[in-house]
Amino acid sequence: MRFTEDFMDEIKARTRVSDIVGRHVKLKRQGREFAGLSPFTNEKSPSFFVNDEKGFYHCFSSGKHGDSISFMMEVEGLSFPEAVERLAGMAGVSMPAADPDAARKAAQSKKLINWTEEASRFFQQSLRRNVGADARRYLEGRGLGEADWARFGIGFAPNSFDALKNELINKDAPMQALVDTGLLIEPEDRDRQPWDRFRNRIMFPITDSRGRLIAFGGRAMAKDAKAKYLNSPETQLFHKGSVLYRYPEARKALSDPKNAARGLIVAEGYMDVIALARAGFNHAVAPLGTALTEDQMGLLWRAGPEPILCFDGDKAGLRAAFRSIERALPLIKPGQTLRFALMPDGLDPDDLIREQGASAMRKALDDALPLVDMLWRRELEKEDLSTPEAKAGLKDRIYAALREIGHEGVREQYKTALLERFDKSFGRPAFKPGRGGSTWGRKKGNPPPTSVLKARMGRYDDVSMGRAPREKRLVQAILDTPSLLERVDEIFFELKFDTPALIELQKCIFSFWRDAIAVDKSSIRAHIVDNGYAAHLKLFTSFGKNLSALAMTEAGASQDLRETEWLKEAAAHQELDVADAQRAEFRDRMNAVLQANDREAMKKLMRAAIATKR
């Protein structure tokens, strides 16, 4: 639904931000503003301010800023239309007329929810009657008493094909409405009557992000049941991949300033979530029998930046954790990641809490691994790494995983972290100096004399000198656009340069690349200066750029164009090192891949040529 400016202005004029925020945050007036503890972080000194005159709130501890609507979306987990509707109700403003189809669908959904709520009351009553005796004994054996049944809305579906149907039909429920809610199964044979979907099962209510009852999950009492857990089918109300069990309650618990957690806890099933809540971890949720979907991850990140996924520590649990990584990598970004808590001894959270107590669960959560650690473990454990080929395969898998990360900055940080682990575990190939034979690096504060520097630099302004200008362009492109290293690092560090000063810069850049966390123009130049090579940078202040050099470093050039032009320069440089008998073949093959604009093939051909000269 689209809302006019007049409508939005009207509801904002009739409500104060402090009134909306004050339902969740204890505010104290400070001059023209109100102050309170942030609802988004765990803090001891107020850094959250509300200004009614300007109509906004600002949280200095989390950086979040917005109006009444955005606050309700953040804290109560509402969508924009839902927040507007809630605010309009508080303001006493009628919602604008929706289109007829939307209004009809909303009215139908409301009726279906009413019948779902009636079903829940029936299930809860059945649990307390004679028919629910076995279910009560089971729940009590799991440590759940009557207070827990009420708190979590637990019920029981009798072992009958028409107990629920008869109950609701007697309350004037339309048969089709009960089919539409998923409570009844409609047979293909139209001559037969629909029957109860849930039979002889302990029932758990499922709500949407607004807390509306939309579906059920049922645990079978019979040991030979075809499905231990059975959820409602997809309906107008219920889309399994877009819902998390107990999400509204968990998000509210997480927003409590006393809760220091940075995200929700995600367990596997209903009983795990209930066990966690009873142990004090009220910010726990569960997907509904499937791996986390993108929509469910979106719900998690709306609540907090670092949800913790709980998995059994056995092979099956690890496989499930690894599947979650596949889904998460394209979505992660700053302030949006995952952590992984592996349960000890293959226990699930319910077992762990009952056997070892809440403190053991707390330790498992405190020890939760960052996503980058689990990604490294996933790739490390795929095969035995005792051979060079297997190690090369590991590196290929790392690069393949990196390509799945959508956010460029996060991808760069993951590359640094994962390749550092690879180097630490398996060693990095030693850098082979070029023909100049100069030594590795130089200590800070010990630059060579000016006359020596000039001798090392050579006459770079003379383009007739062949290799030197091209070597200079290759280094200059890296200095001006360090992001090129993400694509051409292996080739750049293996190229053989003739000019001593450029050999030293090449090696200095290598030492930076090996250890750097952030890769940018200023940091790479600072590293060069720190290692005593500040004078070398003067080589690049007055050097005229040819068309290829411009393409490599021009601000508006795409990364693909920069990479292609750099590889062309590198190929021309490398051609001089190829044996005379093979030079024509190398040139023909390089021209072919250039015409196809196949950068990976270009790099492969370059690596092969470099390898033959080692």
For residue 464, the model assigns a pLDDT of: 34
Those residues of the chain that have pLDDT short of 50 are: 430-465, 542-548, 614
Residue 6 exposure: Cα atoms within 13 Å on the Cβ side: 2
**Nearest in space to 502 (alpha carbons), one of 575, 579, 436:** 436
Contact 501, 568 (CB under 8 A): no
Domains recognised in the chain with CATH numbers = 5-91 (3.90.580.10), 100-238 (3.90.980.10), 247-380 (3.40.1360.10), 450-612 (no CATH)
Pairing of strands 265-266, 284-285: parallel
Distances (CA, A) of 475 to 154, 194, 499, 534, 545: 68, 75, 11, 15, 13
Q: Which residue has the tokens 């030197």?
A: 468
For residue 356, the model assigns a pLDDT of: 93
Q: Can you spell out the DSSP letters for 283-345?
A: SEEB-SSSPPPHHHHHHHHHH-S--EEEEESSHHHHHHHHHHHHHHTTT-BTTB--EEEEEGG
Q: Can you spell out the DSSP letters for 519-534?
A: --HHHHHHHHHHTT-G
Instruction: Give the model confidence (pLDDT) of 348-406 as tens digits.
Output: 999 999 999 999 999 999 999 999 999 999 999 999 998 989 999 999 999 999 999 99
Residues 610 and 357: their CA atoms lie apart, in Å, by: 60
Residues 10 and 516: their CA atoms lie apart, in Å, by: 53
Residues 394 and 388: their CA atoms lie apart, in Å, by: 10
